[in-house]
Amino acid sequence: MKITDVKTTHFTVITRTERDTDGHGHPGPERENTATMLQIDTDEGVSGYWFGANASVMETVIKPAIVGKDPFMREEIWHDLNERQRLNMGVMSDKVLCSVDLALWDLAGRALDIPCYKMIGGYRDKVPAYASTMCGDDLENGLATPEDYARFAEWAMKRGYPAFKLHTWQPPYEGAPSVKNDLGACAAVRDVVGPDVPCMLDPYHYYDREAALALARGLEELDYYWMEEPMDEHSMSSYIWLTENTSLAICGPETCEGKMYVRAEWIKAGACDISRCGVGDVGGLTPLLKTIHLCESYNMRCEIHGGGFGNLTALCAMKNGEFYERGLLHPFLDHDRPAEYLHEVADPMDEQGFVHISQLPGLGMNINFDYIEKNKV
Ligand code: LLH
Ligand code: MG
């Protein structure tokens, strides 16, 4: 089989979220937006798909690199693109590598008529989820106060979520960042969910060491399960210092560049208790699996960052990751409603809080091709 084309299709979707000046998502007015479908075609009529791609990078960099190649040679293609990334960093981010890699996994699963998690070697077909909130805001009855987080945690418990993670306030919100406010929200959540529910915190990502330690000490008292990214992750020494000074589990790195290589360094240096990455952080499912297996060799959990079809596929083909991150959730948004271009959400969750993986071939996306065709731009 040979790759014959790399195509992108733009189409309109309805969005109910918007980004603040720092890039964090929040509920917003309902409006039209443009989405992009990546499609990799072959000479045998089978194609692979993924959503989210930069059309000009696909046309000018990726297409010349992969047309003519065997789509089943994912490892070779990934390494080739990874090497080309070095001098094309301005356009070829890890997100670009991720889109190509995921479309190739999807293609292989569709060609063989098997879900990708079973193609890798399945471990389970459902994973417990945690409710992962959006970052704090100033919306009335949104996520503006500790009481708002508590009310939302109460709702999450009723919905069946077995665990809860707060993303607290970050600039540009007034009063953010604040260790006191973060701990206030964490305490209010612990109060309503009781002592047995695992709770996690992902706060402002640029605290200094003393602030990060104060947060960790507060969370030790509240018996929190882990904390993510309280400081800039480029300073691994700061994370070694933090893990040495707290009994709270520190989970990371999440957004730090460097794929599986940087995660290996963090584990070796003792900079984290739990490792972390998702398909978008390391350049696809191929490098995510390498990282998961690296962690497994150190008896370390790798908690997967973010949801979606690619991350759920990894979670259903691994043992050393406990939770699926379902979100980012907000009291004003309905996560159970699929985007118009999909017939089903990526992560249907039952009343016991388990997310079930699709049994469709490939990554499990049930794509509404008619919708995409009708709303092409
Ligand atoms: O800053 C944000 O908006 C969130 O932290 C986001 O990056 C989220 O994906 C995350 O960190 N989840 O764990
Ligand atoms: Mg995080």
In the chain, the domains with their CATH numbers are: 3-114+368-374 (3.30.390.10), 119-356 (3.20.20.120)
Place of tokens 């701990």: 183
What is the number of the ligand 1 atom nearest to the C-alpha of 305? 13
Q: Are 345 and 10 in contact (CB under 8 A)?
A: no
Give dist(CA 129, CA 262) in Å, integer. 27
Q: Residue 336 carries which DSSP code?
A: T
Report the C-alpha gap between 248 and 107 in whole angstroms.
41
Please tell me the predicted confidence (pLDDT) of residue 89. 82
- Which of 182, 199, 202 should be mutated for ligand 1, with most atoms under 8 A from CB? 202
Report the alpha-carbon distance of residue 13 to residue 339 in Å, rounded: 8
What's the gap in Å between 254 CA and the centre of ligand 2?
A: 6
Q: Tell me the C-alpha to C-alpha distance, in Å, between residue 324 and each of 44, 50, 84, 90, 316.
A: 35, 20, 32, 31, 10
pLDDT the model gives residue 278: 98
CA gap 104, 110 in Å, rounded: 10
26 lines ligand 1 (CB under 6 A): no
pLDDT of 88 reads: 86
Q: Which helix (H) or strand (E) holds 329?
A: strand 324-329
Q: Which is the closest atom of ligand 1 to the Cα of 254?
A: 11
- Non-local (6+) Cβ contacts of 215 within 8 A are 179, 182, 183, 201, 203, 207, 227, 230
CB of 110 within 6 A of ligand 1: the answer is: no
Distance 273 CA to ligand 2 centre (A): 15
Phi, psi of 222 (to 5 degrees): -85, 5
**Length reported for the chain:** 377
Angle, helices 209-221 vs 179-193, to 10°: value is 20
Q: What is the pLDDT of residue 31?
A: 95
**Residue 44 token pair:** 């045998």
Residue nearest atom 9 in ligand 1 by C-alpha distance: 306
Query: What are the distances in angstroms from CA 336 to CA 311, 350, 355?
Result: 17, 11, 11
Torsion angle of alpha carbons 303, 306, 309, 313, nearest 10°?
A: -10
Q: What is the pLDDT of residue 265?
A: 98
Q: Residue 154 C-alpha to ligand 2 middle, in angstroms? A: 22
**pLDDT computed for residue 117 by the predictor:** 99
Which of 254, 256, 302 gets mutated to test ligand 1 (max ligand atoms within 8 A of its CB)?
254
Name the pTM for this structure.
Answer: 0.98
Task: Scan for tokens 């249907």, then name that residue.
Answer: 348
Question: What residues sit around ligand 2, an ion, with C-beta below 5 angstroms?
Answer: 202, 228, 254
137 lines ligand 1 (CB under 6 A): no
Q: What is the pLDDT of residue 108?
A: 99
pLDDT < 70 regions, the chain: none
